[in-house]
Amino acid sequence: MLGTYVNTAIIIIGSLIGLLLKNGLNEKYKITIMHGVALAVLFIGISTTINGMQNGGEPILFIISLVIGGILGELIDLDLRLKHLGEMLQSKVGKGEHNIAAGFVTASLLFCVGTMAILGSLDSGLRGNHDMLYAKSVLDGVTAIILTSTLGIGVIFSAISVLVYQGAITLFAGFLEPYLTTEIIREISIIGGILIFSLGINMLEIKKIKTANLLPAILIPPLYYLAIVPLIDQIFK
C-alpha cells in the first residue's frame, strides 16, 4: 500500500499548492489557464482512446458499453448524486467554492482511469514494487496543482478516490490479477479516454455532458470478457 499512500499524499499536497495559486491569480488568468487545462484534458482523452484502439480495441464493445453504462447511470443518476455530494462538501469548506463536484469528478477520472493506476497497483500488491506508482504520483501531483488552480478545492477530494480505488486493487492484487487481462485493461482505458474527453468538453462549456452518468460503462468490458465470452465459447464449442 506504500505506493498508493504516497500517491494520495502527493495529490493532497499538489492540491494545497494549487489552492494557494488559485487565490493569488487574477480572474482573466484563471480563465486562460482553464482553457489551457481543458484543451490538455481533451488531448489526454483523445490520445488514450486512440492508443487503446491501435492496440486492438473493439469499437463495437466501447459503443455498447457507453450505451448500457449510460442507461444504468441515468437510472442511478450518478450525476445528481455527485452534485449533492459536492453541495454537502461545499457547505463544509465554505461558500467561496463553487462546483466542487466538477473538480472531484474530473480529477478522480484523470487519476484513476488508465493503465498506470491498474498495473502500478497490481505491481505494488504482488511484488512490492512501487516504482510505477511513484512515477504516477509525480504526474498526479503536478496535475493536481494545475487542476486545483482552476477548478478549486474539489480536486483534493479525488485523493480519496485514488486511495480507495488503487488501495483495493493493491490489497486484492492476488485475486484480481488473473481477471484483469490485457484486453480488459485496454477496453477500460478506451472508455476512460472517452469520458476524459467529455470532461474537456464540459470544461470548455461547449456542451453540458453528464459524464458521471456514463461511468458504469467502465464495468461492461470486464462483464463481457469474464462472463459473456466464456458463455459464447461454451455454446459454440
Which CA distances in Å does 64 have to 89, 91, 214, 219? 34, 38, 12, 12
Is 236 a domain residue? Answer: no
Is 134 a domain residue? Answer: yes
* Reported confidence tier of residue 231, pLDDT bands at 50, 70, 90: confident
Is 44 a domain residue? Answer: yes
* Reported confidence tier of residue 75, pLDDT bands at 50, 70, 90: very high
- CA dihedral in degrees (83, 105, 44, 31; nearest 10)? 60
**What number of CA atoms fall less than 13 Å from residue 115's CA on the CB side?**
13
Place of cell 461558500: 95
The residue range of the domain holding 143 is: 2-26+33-229
Question: pLDDT tens digit string along 120-177?
Answer: 998 999 888 999 999 999 989 988 998 898 888 889 999 999 999 999 999 998 888 8
| Helix, strand or coil, per DSSP, at residue 61 | helix
* Reported confidence tier of residue 116, pLDDT bands at 50, 70, 90: confident
* Reported confidence tier of residue 94, pLDDT bands at 50, 70, 90: low
pLDDT averaged over the chain? 87
- Residue in 172, 195, 169 with CA at minimum distance from that of residue 65: 195
Is 237 a domain residue? Answer: no
The Cα 64–Cα 170 span in angstroms is: 29
- Helices 78-93 and 100-112 pack at an angle, to 10 degrees, of 120
Helices (H) and strands (E) in the chain, counts: 12, 0
Is 234 a domain residue? Answer: no
pTM for the model stands at: 0.82
Q: Say what percent of the chain tops pLDDT 90.
A: 33
Is 235 a domain residue? Answer: no
pLDDT at 98: 61
- What is the domain count for the chain? 1
pLDDT at 48: 87
- Residue in 215, 193, 188, 218 with CA at minimum distance from that of residue 82: 215
* Reported confidence tier of residue 11, pLDDT bands at 50, 70, 90: very high
Is 151 a domain residue? Answer: yes
Is 192 a domain residue? Answer: yes
